A and B are shown apart, each in its own frame.
Chain A
């Protein structure tokens, strides 16, 4: 699986958009970009995933660059409950998820 690089930590003001970047410059054509988050020591929570196109769901938007070497997770209106560790993972279908250290997002009042 391709390696991802994420900032160690980020801050965001409540109500503002949180933009979390991820670099995956060695991604292969058959690898998807997944985003999960983990609040405290709870189980990882699925957020969104995509292959080439931008994706949006009720939680977030995923913007993947045209060359697929990087992506951005956007939480449009961050709340205090969005404070968590966010993991960007590239994964071949049917294979395991390989978690890195992720980005600690802190949402401030």
Chain B
């Protein structure tokens, strides 16, 4: 069964460093998403991406965040200068189109120290 793949599963970084979280969405999907979940809190929407553009973003997704689909298969989330409060599970998701269900990856646990 096709699945969304995220790498790495766990990343530790120093405060102020840049990190790139990587995702391989399901191959025929056209909509891509990033969500995050701080430990013990709700799953929060960050951004959606379609046709090489951001289609929706939350207040969390500020200038420190960016997304890219560099090569037609990967979908990345970059955090330019990490803060302690960026520590969270980051989930990538994809859907065939915006009207159908989104499938989530298993997440990347980001720890900022």
Q: Which residues of A contact B (CB under 8 A)?
A: 34, 38, 41-46, 49, 87, 93-101
Contact = CB atoms under 8 A, between A and B. Distances in A.
Interface in B92-113: 93, 97-99, 101-107, 109
Contact of A42 (B45, B103, B107): B107
A7 B102 CA distance: 24
Contacts of A99: 35, 42-44
Contacts of A100: 42
Given A38-B43, A93-B99, A95-B98, 11 more contacts: A41-B37, A41-B107, A43-B4, A93-B98, A94-B31, A94-B97, A95-B56, A96-B45, A97-B45, A97-B102, A99-B42
A29 B89 CA distance: 33
A-B complex: 6 closest residue pairs judged by Cβ atoms: A94-B98, A43-B104, A99-B43, A96-B45, A93-B99, A46-B101
Interface of B: 4, 31, 33, 35, 37, 42-45, 48, 55-56, 58, 89, 91, 93, 97-99, 101-107, 109
A41 B90 CA distance: 11
A96 B98 contact: no
23 contacts: A38-B43, A41-B37, A41-B89, A42-B106, A43-B93, A43-B106, A44-B35, A44-B91, A44-B104, A46-B101, A46-B102, A93-B98, A93-B99, A94-B97, A94-B99, A95-B98, A96-B33, A96-B45, A96-B58, A97-B43, A97-B45, A99-B35, A99-B42
B33 A44 contact: no
Contacts of B93: 43-44
A46 B91 CA distance: 14
A30 to B, nearest CB: 11
Contacts of A43: 4, 91, 93, 104-107
Nearest to A42: B106
A44 B107 CA distance: 10
